[in-house]
């Protein structure tokens, strides 16, 4: 278990992100409930991830930033021993209601309450988009710590250079919990610095956005 308080800067963006998703949890679940079924390329990524995890003996897999649990549930359907962790208590409450019987818990990717080497794999599917650049190294170090040697890491993120704020419905913007777009080369470099080996890094393009995917091993 990791104890102690976050540093003030980390507490600020984490608090803003938590508040954003606490406020939006129910509508977010409604908006994303059928999203995976509409994106066959993302389904292919999940199938590949599940196959790799199972081929290496299986084991616990954390879906970090799980939101309402749609990916956690899909991985369980694929035979993976997945459980969800999310920063937002309200989002975890929604996930438990949407997927009764599955494990969901509140936690921060900056301080995962997991033992060293506990996980066979870890998934952060469009959850690192809220992490500031200066905190990415710390987050990846936590991911590295909780993965067993050879453990698999799957990251999904928005590709690009600009990071416009994510608007509220009333026209205001959340000061910190907005989508940060990154280049795959930058994400790969950060993974290398954290001790991971990148295995594949496709981009998935839809009508509205370009999505980056990085599959790496500890």
Tokens 């969901």 — which residue? 104
Predicted pLDDT at 178? 60
- Residue 197 has a pLDDT of 95
Based on the structure, what is the number of domains in the chain? 1
pLDDT band, residue 200 (cuts 50/70/90)? confident
Give 3-state DSSP helix, strand, coil % of the chain, rounded to 5: 40, 25, 35
- Residue 2 in any domain: the answer is no
Q: What is the pLDDT of residues 45-54, one digit of tens each?
A: 999 999 999 9
- The residue among 108, 40, 98 whose CA lies nearest residue 69 is 98
Q: Is 77 among the domain residues?
A: yes
* pLDDT tens-place string over residues 125-156: 989 988 988 899 999 999 999 999 999 999 99
Which region among 9-13, 112-116, 144-148 has the lowest average model confidence (pLDDT)? 9-13
* C-alpha to C-alpha distance for 206 and 42, rounded to whole angstroms: 11
Tokens read off for 146: 């909780």
Among 11-20, 62-71, 117-126, 150-159, the minimum mean pLDDT is found in: 11-20
E strands, the chain, in order = 60-64, 81-86, 104-106, 119-125, 147-158, 197-200, 203-205, 210-217
Q: Which domain holds residue 148?
A: 8-217
Q: How far apart are CA 41 and CA 147, in angstroms?
A: 26
Within a domain: residue 28?
Answer: yes
Flag whether pLDDT at 173 surpasses 50.
Answer: no
Q: Is residue 120 part of a domain?
A: yes
In a domain, 131, yes or no: yes
In this predicted structure, which of 17-21, 89-93, 96-100, 140-144 has the lowest mean pLDDT?
Answer: 17-21
**Global pTM value:** 0.85
Predicted confidence (pLDDT) at residue 29 exceeds the cutoff of 90 = no
- CATH number for the domain harbouring residue 201: 3.40.50.150
In a domain, 208, yes or no: yes
pLDDT of residue 176 exceeding 70, the answer is no
């Amino acid at each position: 278990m990791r104890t102690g308080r976050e540093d003030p800067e980390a507490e600020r963006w984490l608090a803003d992100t938590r508040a954003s998703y606490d406020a939006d949890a129910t509508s977010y679940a409604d908006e994303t409930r059928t999203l995976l079924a509409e994106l066959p390329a993302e389904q292919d990524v999940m199938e590949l991830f599940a196959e790799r995890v199972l081929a290496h003996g299986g084991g616990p897999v954390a879906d970090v930033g799980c939101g309402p649990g749609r990916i956690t549930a899909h991985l369980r359907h694929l035979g993976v021993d997945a459980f969800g962790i999310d920063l937002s208590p309200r989002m975890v409450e929604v996930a438990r209601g949407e997927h009764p019987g599955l494990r969901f818990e509140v936690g921060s990717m900056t301080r995962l309450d997991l033992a060293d080497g506990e996980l066979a794999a870890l998934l952060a599917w469009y959850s690192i988009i809220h992490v500031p650049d200066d905190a990415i190294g710390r987050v990846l170090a936590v991911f590295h710590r909780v993965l067993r040697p050879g453990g698999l890491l799957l990251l999904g993120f928005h590709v690009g250079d600009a990071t416009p704020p994510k608007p509220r419905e009333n026209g205001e913007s959340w000061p910190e919990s907005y989508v940060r777009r990154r280049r795959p080369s930058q994400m790969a470099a950060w993974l290398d610095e954290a001790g991971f080996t990148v295995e594949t890094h496709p981009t998935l393009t839809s009508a509205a956005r370009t999505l980056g995917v990085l599959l790496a091993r500890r």
